[in-house]
Amino acid sequence: MPLQQDGRLGNIVTPNRIVMAPLGRARNSDPGREPVLRSVTYYVQRASAGLIISEATHVSASSVSRPGTGAIHSISQVAAWKKVTDAVHAAQGRIFQQLFHLGRKADPDRLGGALPIAPSAIAAIGEISGIAGPKPFPVPCALASDEIPEIIQQFQAAAINAHAAGFDGIELHAANGFLIDQFLRDSANQRSDDYGGSVANRARLLLEIVDDAIAIFGAGGVGVRVSPHATQDGLNDSNPAALYSHVARELSARGIGYLHLIEPDSIPEANKLLPALRPIFAGPLILAGEFNQGSAEAAIADGRADYVAFGRLFIANPDLVERFRLGAPLNVPDPATFYSGGDAGYIDYPTLSQQDTAQASQ
Ligand SMILES: Cc1cc2nc3c(=O)[nH]c(=O)nc-3n(C[C@H](O)[C@H](O)[C@H](O)COP(=O)(O)O)c2cc1C
């Protein structure tokens, strides 16, 4: 069973190849954006994962979305996350923190009326979940060249905080249309300075943030998540193969802990980037997107991936590792409770042994 093999992922040794994908669940305190006791329970329940990657966590107060999203830019947020990491480690688990900045997807009403920042003044396509309901994404304010160091510094400060909070490493969220992704792809980045234009320039922000994070965690404590096929905000690139090959080459040269690629099996073979990226990136590769046990076992067995990340299956199955090991049936995730707050759909999905006990008492 390839998924149950142990392995090494950057700085950590893992008892299996099953990664809990980053999952924002909107359960943090409001307005503090700190994990509370139920989040400690939630992560501990899933500590048998080879690696837990935390929900996306804001690096600064200029990155603000719906209430309940976590953040790591204050002393009390660090203290709250320390309770999560201590509890996961006590349960023999491993946990990286995913760091992100919303960029153009932040909500002006939650920024005191200020416009969100972005590489260029180009709005995301779609709607923001605003205070008074859905509304179109705003046209953001393009960062001036001399404002970019402050953004890099925000990520650096967040990485220092993540380290202080006891995380085993960080994953930089360069996927799903957030700020780093907005810099990477040329439909959102039309800058003419050192951070726009060529592939090398568009990757510069990511790589400078990576270099700072390496100085804090060591290369093995840094992962990067990319999503070349995520186009839901109107984000696109004119030459994804060239862009992501450059990114993979540069990350490989730095020896980072892992590259995390979202590329579902359902992407047409001709559009897949994995065949090009796998030989370029020398370190461990985590593959994500719509995997089940069978497709994940196949991806590892035939060498396409070293690890597979599961999102929705981990929401519904705290003991996913055990269920895979036994070939047991899986609980079905309920999208209505993904972001609903509270315990329901968060910490009340039963483990196999809880189901057995419940059946025995009937
Ligand atoms: C409720 C929910 C929250 C998510 N939050 C994040 C997040 O914080 N960061 C991230 O990179 N991806 C996030 N994703 C995407 C997942 O990590 C994963 O890539 C996606 O669910 C596809 O994997 P799956 O088919 O195994 O669920 C989220 C997905 C869901 C369903």
Three-class SS string for 52-98? EEEEEEECCCCCCCCCCCCECCCHHHHHHHHHHHHHHHHCCCCEEEE
Cα(233)–Cα(178) distance, integer angstroms: 10
Q: Is the pTM of this model over 0.75?
A: yes
Q: Is the CB of 28 under 6 A from ligand 1?
A: no
Q: Which amino acid is at 79?
A: A
Report which protein residue has its CA nearest ligand 1's atom 5: 23
Is the CB of 175 within 6 Å of ligand 1? yes
C-alpha gyration radius of the chain = 20
CA distance 172 to 163: 14
- Between the CA of 194 and the centroid of ligand 1 the distance, in Å, is 31
22 CA from centroid of ligand 1 (Å): 6
Which helix (H) or strand (E) covers residue 104, if one does? none
Q: How far is it, in rounded angstroms, from Cα 127 to Cα 138?
A: 9
Structure tokens at 342: 């509270």
Domain that holds residue 227: 2-360
Q: Is 262 touching ligand 1 by the criterion CB < 6 Å?
A: yes
Residues 6 or more apart whose Cβ sits within 8 Å of residue 163: 216, 217
Q: Give whole-number Cα distances, 130 to 23, 32, 45, 133, 216, in Å.
A: 20, 18, 32, 5, 35
Domain count across the chain: 1
255 secondary structure, DSSP code: T
Q: How far is the CA of 352 from the centre of ligand 1 (A)?
A: 24
CA 204 to chain centre: 20
Kindly give, in sequence order, each residue whose CB lies less than 8 Å from that of residue 302, ignoring residues fewer than 6 positions away.
none
Answer yes or no: is the C-beta of 195 below 6 A from any ligand 1 atom: no
CATH number, residue 285: 3.20.20.70
Per-residue tens of pLDDT for the chain, all 362 residues: 899 999 999 999 999 999 999 999 999 999 999 999 999 999 999 999 999 999 999 999 999 888 899 999 999 999 999 999 999 999 999 999 999 999 999 999 999 889 999 999 999 999 998 888 899 999 999 999 999 999 999 999 999 999 999 999 999 999 999 999 999 999 999 999 999 999 999 999 999 999 999 999 999 999 999 999 999 899 999 999 999 999 999 999 999 999 999 999 999 999 999 999 999 999 999 999 999 999 999 999 999 999 999 999 999 999 999 999 999 999 999 999 999 999 999 999 999 999 888 777 76
- Does any ligand 1 atom lie closer than 6 A to the CB of residue 55? yes
